[in-house]
Amino acid sequence: MKMSKRAVLLAFTLASVLSVSTLPAHANIDLQGSGASFVGNVLDACKTGFSKKTNNTVVYSPLGSSTGVRNADGAIGDFWFSDAAHLASTRRASVINVPLVAAPIAVLHNLPARTQLYLSPETIAGIFAGTITKWNDPKIVADNNRSVTEVVYKKDTMGNVLKDKDGKNLVLRTQVKNIRYTLPNQDIKVFYRSDGSGTTNNFTRYLNAVAPSIWNKPANNAFTTAFPGNLNAAGNIGRIVGASQSQGVALNAGKTKYSITYAEVSFAAANGLKVAAIGNASGNFILPTSTATSAFIGAGTINTTTGAVTFDYQTKEVGAYPLSIVSYMLYETEPKDKARGAAVKQWAQYLLTEDCVNGDAKDTGFIFLTGKIRTTVEEFLNRAKL
Name residues whose C-beta falls within 8 Å of residue 382's C-beta, 6 or more positions apart in sequence: none
Residue 2 has what DSSP assignment?
-
Instruction: Tell whether 12 is covered by a domain.
Output: no
pLDDT at 369: 72
Residue 269 maps to a domain? yes
Q: What is the pLDDT of residue 366?
A: 83
Q: Which burial class, exposed, middle or buried, applies to 368 when counting CB atoms under 10 A from its CB (0-12, 13-18, 19+)?
A: buried
Burial of 28 (0-12, 13-18, 19+ CB in 10 A): exposed
Q: How far apart are CA 100 and CA 377, in angstroms?
A: 7
Predicted confidence at residue 158, as pLDDT, reads 56
Q: Total domain count for the chain?
A: 2
Q: Are residues 63 and 140 in the same domain?
A: no
Contacts of 93 (CB under 8 A, 6+ apart): none
Do 224 and 307 share a domain, yes or no?
A: no
The CA distance from 47 to 71, in Å, is 21
- pLDDT at residue number 298: 81
Q: Are residues 57 and 168 in the same domain?
A: no
**The pLDDT of residue 363:** 79
Q: How many angstroms separate the CA atoms of 241 and 56, rounded?
A: 40
pLDDT at 263: 94
Domain that holds residue 366: 20-102+298-313+322-381
Same domain, yes or no: 129 and 71: no
Q: Could you tell me the mean pLDDT of each successive run of 10 residues in the chain, 386 residues long?
A: 40 39 64 94 94 96 94 98 95 96 94 96 98 98 94 73 81 91 98 94 96 97 96 96 96 98 91 96 92 86 92 91 94 97 96 85 78 87 96
Residues 206, 87, single domain; the answer is no
Q: Does 204 lie in the same domain as 70?
A: no
Least Cα distance to 344 among 13, 15, 2, 56 occurs for: 56
Residue 232 belongs to a domain with what CATH number?
Answer: 3.40.190.10
CA 312 to chain centre: 15
